[in-house]
Amino acid sequence: MRDVLVLNGPNLGRLGTREPDVYGATTFKDLVEICETAGRELGLSVEVRQTDDEAEMVGWIHGAADSRTPVILNPAAFTHYSYALRDALAQRTAPLIEVHISNPAAREEFRHTSVVAAVANGTIAGFGVQSYVLALRAIAEM
């Protein structure tokens, strides 16, 4: 089985209670189960992580680059300003897909710019937690 990291940035550990009108009722625990189940069906070994700490996220990205592990990343707020994360992602050695539960382009103007999109293979956004499943399918086919 191919290993895949599914990494989530700030506040995503609060899914289910955080702005359910934007992010839905699915909890982070539910998201983990959805990703692990979809991964098994696709022949992928999926590990899901979440952090509110930029330095921890950068460390995970470095580890993924060193081990040539594909990454599905929901950078959350880091999307719009974390040049440290963007620079770490530029060192990738395996596929990288940026995901978002909501569609940032349809939200506040400050969310319209992703500093990480240019170093990703692609971005999947606006399909709720199914964005992750679509990203796992893409990784499985790469």
Look at the chain and report how many structural domains it folds into: 1
Residues 6+ apart with CB under 8 A from 29: none
87 belongs to an annotated ligand binding site: yes
101 belongs to an annotated ligand binding site: yes
Residue 83 among the catalytic residues: no
- Residue 23 is predicted with a pLDDT of 62
- Residue 25 is predicted with a pLDDT of 74
Q: Active-site residue among 62, 83, 100, 132?
A: 100
Domain interval for residue 13:
2-141
- Written as tens digits, the pLDDT of the chain (142 aa) is 899 999 999 988 887 777 667 666 788 999 999 999 999 999 999 999 999 999 999 999 999 999 999 999 999 989 988 999 999 999 999 999 999 998 776 566 766 678 999 999 999 999 999 999 999 999 999 9
21 belongs to an annotated ligand binding site: no
112 belongs to an annotated ligand binding site: no
Q: Strand locations in 14-93, DSSP E? A: 44-50, 71-74
CATH number where 8 lies: 3.40.50.9100
Residue 23 among the catalytic residues: yes
Task: Give the integer Cα–Cα distance in Å for 55 and 84.
Answer: 9
Q: Strand locations in the chain, DSSP E? A: 2-8, 44-50, 71-74, 96-100, 122-125
Tokens of 137: 């399918």
pTM: 0.91
> Whose CA is closest to 74, among 21, 20, 127?
127
CB 17 within 8 A of CB 29: no
80 belongs to an annotated ligand binding site: yes
- Residue 22 is predicted with a pLDDT of 62
